[in-house]
Each structure stands twice: as C-alpha cells, then as structure tokens.
Chain A
C-alpha cells in the first residue's frame, strides 16, 4: 500500500513536469528575449537599489503614501471582516434548522464566496471605478469583496470543525441559536480567526499598494510615477517602505500567532 502511495506522488510530479515543459513551448527562445539594451537597463535598476533616494522630501512623501496604503488596507479589511462574518456564518450552515436546508444554504453561500474571491481585487477595482468613478471607496470595496470571500470560506470551515459536544451542552441549557454562536462557536474559533485575519491583513497591504495602479494614491502610485520618470533610486525608496511595512505587519502577526497558539 505504501508503495502505491509513493507512486501516486511520482505520477503527479511527472504530470506537473510535463505541464511545465508544455508551457515553455510558445516562447520564442532563439529570437532574443531581452529588449535591445534591456541588460543595461536591468543593471541600472538593480544598481539603484544600492543608493535609494533618502532625501527628506522623499521620506515625507513615502511616509504619506505608506499611510494611505495602510489606511485603505485597514478600511478594506474591516469591511471584509464584516462580510466574512455574516457570509461565513451562513455558508457554514450552522444556522439551518434541518439537514436539507443546511445543504442548500451551504451550496449557495459557498458559491457566493468563491465567486467573490475568484475575481482579482484589481479587476474588482476597475469595475468599481468604471461604475462609481475614482473615489477611495472603489479601492476599499475592491479589497473588501475578495478578502471577504477568502476570510468567509476559512471562517465557515472553522465553524464546521467546531466539536459538537460543547454546542450540545449549551443547547441543553436552553441557549438560543444566537446564544450558541456567541458563547459556543465564536470563543472556540477566535484564535484561528485572528491569526488568519492577521495573515490576510499582510496580503491586503500589498494589494492596497497595487490599487494605485488604477489611479488612487499610495505607494504603488508613487512607484509607477518614478518608473515612468526612469527615476530608479526614487522607486527603490518607495519599494523599501513597502517592504518595511509588510515586514512590520508580518512580525506583528507572527508574534500574535505565537501568543495565541501556545
């Protein structure tokens, strides 16, 4: 039996390798992959990383755009959490009275959640900008929908994995459905939800940075502007701020996860 298991892995690895080779076919490897002068350009770009522009004006601008990026990410995440709470609750099926209605509830809301997260946040942003115009809400809603979908799915899975005994104990004492949720389910999934949300918060900062691609302010906008000016040393300043922001949030969430886990 063990042998067969190992073969399964080999088969899958082999299929994946074949797929990779197939994917390399359409590229025209002979004709030269780089632009004329592309190599020199690459040299300039990476050389600029060694001396980023840290003049006071740039630092102030970078701080301001980092704050805009963080603010959009936080606002989007807070909406996503609200969405995920209600949709996840419905998609977990714990509110449904009977077995049949539970199955339908699950199927419908899982579909909704997977539709929400299937479309990338930038595509949502383009759709919102096309219908609302260029406001911060376009970015915030565009972040909230896919992140709500991802968080909601995990939230629903966590709620389903809650052991039945404590909930039954609560029900025996006469707790209503909402009381079961607040005193039974939520305390059990709390740690898991917090650590997953922190991980997603880090991702949302990155996503919020690229929201500027459609014309909203923030780090990504500044990166794009300096790339358009071919000002690579300025671009690296903003990139370093973005890296710093992500590293800080990553460190925070690692600490928090460690405290919650142990």
Chain B
C-alpha cells in the first residue's frame, strides 16, 4: 500500500510542477505562443532557413574548397577532443573507482576495512556528485579562464563532467559484480593493485567498456557545445559563423557534426556488440 502511495504522490507532485511551470512560462513570463507565429517571425525564420541552404547567399560554403578543408580539419580536431576527453575521464575513473564502491568501503569485497575507507568513499562520491551536477558548458566556462584556448580545455571540461557519471556507473558495476573471486584473491594476500588487475577488472571490463563507449557517444554530441565558449573544434567556428551570419558555413559545419555523431553512434554500437 505504501509502495503505491509514494508513486502516486510523486505523480501528483510532478503534475503540480507541470502546472506551475507552464503557468510561470505563460503568465509570469508573458510568453504567448501565438506571437511566435506572426508574419514577421515567419519571414525571419524563412530567411534563416533559406540562408542555411544557401539561397541568395553570395559565397556558398558547400562549393568552396577552403571551407570544406577547414570544416574537415575542425571535424578531426573535434574527434580528437572527444577521445581525449573520454581518455582523461577514464583515467580518473580508474584511479578512484575502487574506493568508491560501497562493498569495498565496508570491507565485504577486500576482507579488510580501514578507518579511512569510509572517508575516501564519501569524498570520492561527493566529488562524483559535484562533477556530474555541473554541466559541461559551465565547466568549460571555468576551465577556459585557466587554460590557453584550444582543444585541451574543451577536453578537460568534458572530462570533468563525465568522470563523475562514469565513476558512478562503474562503481555500481563493481557493487553488482560477483565478489567471491575477489575475496579469494584478498584472502590469498593480494595487494590493492593486484586485486584491481586480477580480480575486479576481468569481471567488470565488459561493463566498463560498454559505459565508456556510451559516454563517448554522448561526449561526441556535446563537443560542439563546449566549443561555443572558445574551447576549439567545430563549436567555436559554428558560433563565430552564427554571429557573422555566414549561414551556409553554419550548415556545412552542422552537416559535418551530424556525420560525426552518426559515425560515433555506429562505431560504439558495433564495438559494444563485438565484445558482448
């Protein structure tokens, strides 16, 4: 009975939130839907989309060799940025994931509990929450203050957001894994690194690879966004061309971006079924 009550309560709460937010958008923000579809907006939109496909533009980017060259170079840069980002977050994840698993912290997995294991568990989990809760774009805005512009700050911003997600997913994979082989290793006197290499890793590697590839897919989609605040790649050029009203360049970059995203989806899906 209580089980149903919580679900019903949640639904009611969500409904209230729904009413509240639409009320806020329509009444308090005074945004009317009919105003969107005025003739003025329609002509603006038509002009914009015509610009995108290159009607009435003087120099069409799709026909220009230099534009293609630049776009392809940026595509490669963006690809490298995404790989760097997933690489960094995987490294940080591997360094932190063992103490972040609940069954390591309470000693059921490694058969030994030290006074600091709950402390490191709490600290690492808290860092995961902070990293996950702050969007990539905000990380990028902060990181760009510290690093020189280029693809490195973009990769670092993406990694900062994704290591929390990856860490949480992988820690949960360790918690769900079969603990008996690992306990056996621990009982035989294996050290922390040996436990990681010979006990945990072989058992959870397929799961980890799935998560890493899945996050790489998501990172690929997000690279364009961190680029917009100046972290290099397709996004930076996209934003610049948008401000210069070079609409055919914008659509060329969008096409490159879409192809990249679809290729990433394809590769990640293929390699996931390869190791399954």
Using a CB–CB cutoff of 8 Å, the interface residues on chain A facing chain B are 6, 8-9, 12-13, 16, 19-20, 22-28, 32-35, 38-39, 41-42, 45, 67-68, 70-75, 78, 114-115, 118-120, 122-123, 126-127, 130-133, 135-137, 140, 194, 206-207, 209-210, 213, 220, 223-224, 227, 239, 242-243, 246-247, 252, 255-256, 259-260, 262
Contact = CB atoms under 8 A, between A and B. Distances in A.
Contacts of A45: 142, 145-146
Contacts of B209: 9, 12-13, 16
Given A20-B84, A22-B80, A136 B31 contact: yes
Contact of B10 (A35, A42, A120, A252): A252
A118 B145 contact: no
Interface string B18-53: 101110110001010101100001001100110000
Q: Say what secondary structure dominates the interface of chain A.
A: helix
Given A12-B271, A26-B77, A132-B36, A227 B141 contact: yes
Given A41-B145, A74-B17, A130-B242, 20 more contacts: A9-B275, A19-B83, A20-B84, A23-B80, A24-B84, A33-B147, A38-B148, A70-B17, A78-B18, A78-B22, A118-B221, A118-B265, A123-B257, A131-B44, A137-B33, A206-B135, A209-B138, A242-B133, A252-B10, A262-B3
Nearest to B152: A27
A75 B275 CA distance: 40
B6 interface: yes
Contacts of A247: 129, 133
Contacts, number: 184
Interface string B246-276: 0000000010011001100100000100110
A73 to B, nearest CB: 8
A256 to B, nearest CB: 5
Given A132-B45, A213-B137, A27 B6 contact: no
Contacts of B41: 131-133
